[in-house]
Amino acid sequence: MVEVKEAVPENEEPISRSREANWPAVLFFIHIHLLSLYGLWLLIFEVKLLTLLFFFTLTSVAILGMTTGAHRLWAHGAYKASTGLRVTLMLFQTLAGVGSIYDWVQYHRLHHAHFATEDDPYDYNKGFVYAHFLTRLRKLSPQQEKLKSAIDMSDLENDSIVMFQKKAYWFLYAILFALLPLNAPLEYWDDTVLSSVFVVGFLRYLIVLHASWLIDSAISVWGLRPGEKSPPDSNTVFILTKTFWPHYHYLVPYDYKSGEYGTYDCGCSSAFIRVWAALGLATNLQTVETHTIQKALADAARTQKDLKTCIDEAVVNQKLPEEHYLKRG
Ligand SMILES: [Zn+2]
């Protein structure tokens, strides 16, 4: 479970909340979207089958590195991983090209710590386009920078694999993300330079970027809006079933079953974590059983305490059966 340090002392003067444009990011995103269009045409009509398979494999592996690695393992401590698995997930995450695990986790924890407030860089109240994309075109405000530097990152600072990647990030990025993938189609199965650069280069980068951004903006797509009548009587049922409700992730971020893309307990990433657990590579899988959530809801209604506090208290007394990850639900 990840704690966030208390941020701004009350007697301090307010700091600016305005966010300047990040022009290098603006130019980069315009170019990568335009260049990927040609990559898409090549993907459909030109590339060799092996390049296609290579493209899908690299994309899937990078997304797995983001969901099971950067998000569930490192940002939320949803399970513990062996050294070998952590090295593998670090390499997978490098293939996403979204910056080091350390930097990504710091932003994601800032998002959780100030969720749906003005200081949340991915505030879903401003709409999907803002939370997903427009926010990436701006630097953090001085206020957000200050809050970011107050985020507790000590667990990652004690993780030698994360810190190695942070130090060697641009070297790893150049070799693993760019040079090796771009070279493979030319070297091993004689595809064209255009296919390699536009499909394995630009198009892959674009898809992985959007998949990574969705981890922060998914709630705008699959979450419920305030007052939404689905189901008609109460939205509470979504907490009970932990389904179709990314809001659950913001209440219980350490549940390893919370899918990044609107699912609970049925995605590929959860399946991979279960397999790793069965192989002994992943341990201490965190989850909350339905009856624990029910108890927390009853406590919240009875004591008028905050639901998140009641869930955290109920989890302390929860006894998960051994090898609970082998059964669904
Ligand atoms: Zn999260």
* Ligand 1 midpoint to CA 111 (Å): 8
Rounded to 5 degrees, φ, ψ at 153 are -115, 20
Same domain (yes/no): 329, 198: no
* Ligand 1 midpoint to CA 112 (Å): 7
* Ligand 1 midpoint to CA 249 (Å): 7
Q: How many domains does the chain have?
A: 2
Write down which residue in 174, 193, 222 finishes a domain.
Answer: 222
Write down which residue in 178, 202, 222 finishes a domain.
Answer: 222
* Ligand 1 midpoint to CA 66 (Å): 11
* pLDDT of res. 3: 46
Write down which residue in 194, 222, 250 finishes a domain.
Answer: 222
* pLDDT of res. 147: 95
**Closest alpha carbon to 210 in 174, 244, 260, 175:** 260
Q: SS3 for the chain, per residue?
A: CCCCCCCCCCCCCCCCCCCCECHHHHHHHHHHHHHHHHHHHHHHHCCCHHHHHHHHHHHHHHHHHHHHHHHHHHHCCCCEECHHHHHHHHHHHHCCCCCCHHHHHHHHHHHHHCCCCCCCCCCHHHCHHHHHCHHHHECCCHHHHHHHHCCCCHHHHCCHHHHHHHHCHHHHHHHHHHHHHHHHHHHHCCCCHHHHHHHHHHHHHHHHHHHHHHHHHHHHHHCCCCCCCCCCCCCCHHHHHCCCCCHHHHHCCCCCCECCCCCECCCHHHHHHHHHHHCCCEECCCCCCHHHHHHHHHHHHHHCCCHHHHHHHHHHCCCCCCCHHHCCC
**Measured distance CA(106)–CA(200) in Å, rounded:** 29
301 found inside a domain? yes
| pTM, full prediction | 0.90
* Ligand 1 midpoint to CA 295 (Å): 24
1 found inside a domain? no
Does residue 320 sit in helix, strand or coil? coil
* Ligand 1 midpoint to CA 187 (Å): 39
* Ligand 1 midpoint to CA 52 (Å): 31
* pLDDT of res. 4: 47
Same domain (yes/no): 189, 126: yes
The boundaries of the domain holding residue 238 are 226-329
Same domain (yes/no): 249, 141: no
Same domain (yes/no): 62, 144: yes
Same domain (yes/no): 272, 185: no
* Ligand 1 midpoint to CA 252 (Å): 9
Using DSSP bridges, classify how beta strands 282-283 and 80-81 pair: parallel, antiparallel or unpaired: antiparallel
What is the mean pLDDT for each group of 10 consecutive residues in the chain (329 residues)?
Answer: 50 80 95 96 95 97 97 97 98 97 97 94 92 95 95 97 98 96 95 96 97 92 69 61 76 91 87 95 92 87 87 87 71
Same domain (yes/no): 30, 177: yes
* Ligand 1 midpoint to CA 221 (Å): 15
* Ligand 1 midpoint to CA 105 (Å): 9
6 found inside a domain? no
* Ligand 1 midpoint to CA 254 (Å): 8
Q: DSSP letter string over 32-44?
A: HHHHHHHHHHHHH
**Measured distance CA(306)–CA(297) in Å, rounded:** 10
Same domain (yes/no): 274, 162: no
* pLDDT of res. 234: 55
* Ligand 1 midpoint to CA 196 (Å): 33
Same domain (yes/no): 67, 206: yes
* Ligand 1 midpoint to CA 318 (Å): 22
* pLDDT of res. 220: 82
* Ligand 1 midpoint to CA 38 (Å): 33
Same domain (yes/no): 37, 64: yes
* Ligand 1 midpoint to CA 233 (Å): 28
Same domain (yes/no): 195, 261: no
